[in-house]
Structure 1
């Protein structure tokens, strides 16, 4: 397994003042040897079987993932910008070949960069060391999915460079409009994109370990096509509430129960103060997978 020496520069402070407490961990999980400060903060090592598609979300106690279109970067409001949650987000990005998001997530986070250091700059050197030990480039490739081609073209994450997966109609809309740092990929005539085809194209670029950060509608497509392998779920100790605005849960745009139950198995439970960090494994064959 890939590894990294358990060394840390003298006098380097810990990544987290209070590390995650391990309440449960299934024996025999895949693991890569993390740099010492990352392992200390996470409470052990972390790794993935390849290929793997895993998701990371934070929700309120009442299951809200996003506060509505009128609220920008609502994930930060739900998480309270908890350092442990931001560390886990950075660690999961540091493990990934690519980070997969939808156009809605891009629009809702106008200044965000989907890199490990953006959410946890204190661990920059450790994230770099981990990626080097795994043979990864400096940052994961950002993959943006849009059927329509409706994207905020000046977004800093696009200027930094991304793979944009779209339909033929979306390609016509974006051709000559995207920053030169982006790669445009048309997958079928539309009107929808099949996530299996997106992931096949991502895999052809050498990306075997893919993290998705949403949003809930994209996760619904991934679950519906039986493609999700794991879910990392932070439960924030706050109530969001619901009234007139649309405040989705983890999966949006698709009904699963009662006809298509998708069951998961808990493989890890951690906590930091009143925040709970859950890890679930999904069966390889979901409801729409042959």
Structure 2
């Protein structure tokens, strides 16, 4: 059998973007914001979060690959095939957040990206703006980049537009005079490493209580290790990525759980568009703790 290496064609018109997701299952009583009617139709229902809430969004292949490795920038787009439904959900989750939290590795791996709702799905930009106005939030969620070392590409367009950089004392010294004036450095802790609980507590002081993280896998590992992640949105893309000599992590890197530890989750929502699945999980342990650090 011949190998088909052609990705599904990217969709682009507003009608395609807003073609409804099929609702397969949803737990009763989930919070909701009251999405604009065209968004509620496109998403197949409403969406919302009860703060404080830290939720993640990932796309993964059928065989569990979430990143193609350091030699493949913007690998999420390759895994998703840039399908409009996934781009719409990505933009919607950003539009619902106070801040988007990423690691320095994700910033370096996506050199042209901006973590805004409209960058994910330009065709729905006006609806995202309407949603954020209804939630009484700024035009864009604040981008938060976590780096212990301070090793960041200062010319990245996302930094040029302005971001909050959470780092250590040493990292702040390295960044001094290098980052764009639009950026703010947030020094968290005095040691050589960062505790994500401290980062999230600092974000709360800035009014960020509903936070989306788009990883990557190592940052997700830190968040899970500290028991901080409340929810996971996972798009399962109908593609096989494969693994050979290049490290290709799944959702988590740098943390082993089973068999000695476990992080169980409950499926609270499932949607479908063609052969793509859009799943929403609630992390059991995290929901039970609900941030004992008084986030």
By the TM > 0.5 criterion, same fold? yes
Query: After the TM superposition, which segments of 4 or more aligned residues of structure 1 sit over 3 Å from their partners?
Result: 12-15
> Shift of residue 119 of structure 1?
1.1
> 1:9 maps to what in 2?
none
| 2:212 paired with 1:215 | no
| 2:235 paired with 1:230 | no
State the secondary structure of the residue aligned to 1:88.
helix
| 2:272 paired with 1:271 | yes
Measured in 2, the distance between the counterparts of 1:13 and 1:152 equals: 34
8 Å CA contact retained: 2:101, 2:211: yes
8 Å CA contact retained: 1:147, 1:190: no
Question: What are the residue-to-residue correspondences of 1:223-262 with 2, within 5 Å?
Answer: 223-262=224-263
| 2:171 paired with 1:170 | yes
> Shift of residue 177 of structure 1?
1.1
Measured in 2, the distance between the counterparts of 1:13 and 1:117 equals: 13
| 2:34 paired with 1:40 | no
> 1:78 maps to what in 2?
79
Question: What are the residue-to-residue correspondences of 1:1-290 with 2, within 5 Å?
Answer: 14=15, 16=17, 18-283=19-284, 284-285=287-288
8 Å CA contact retained: 1:24, 1:270: yes
Measured in 2, the distance between the counterparts of 1:74 and 1:261 equals: 28
Measured in 2, the distance between the counterparts of 1:160 and 1:218 equals: 23
Measured in 2, the distance between the counterparts of 1:13 and 1:193 equals: 42
8 Å CA contact retained: 1:233, 1:278: yes
Which consecutive residues of structure 1, in runs of 5 or more, have no partner in the other structure?
1-11
TM-score (norm 2): 0.92
> Shift of residue 285 of structure 1?
4.7
RMSD across aligned positions (CA)? 1.5
8 Å CA contact retained: 2:165, 2:186: yes
> 2:6 maps to what in 1?
none
8 Å CA contact retained: 2:14, 2:123: no
Number of matched residues? 278
8 Å CA contact retained: 1:159, 1:181: yes
8 Å CA contact retained: 2:58, 2:214: yes
> Shift of residue 15 of structure 1?
6.2
Measured in 2, the distance between the counterparts of 1:25 and 1:171 equals: 44
TM-score (norm 1): 0.93
> Shift of residue 289 of structure 1?
7.0
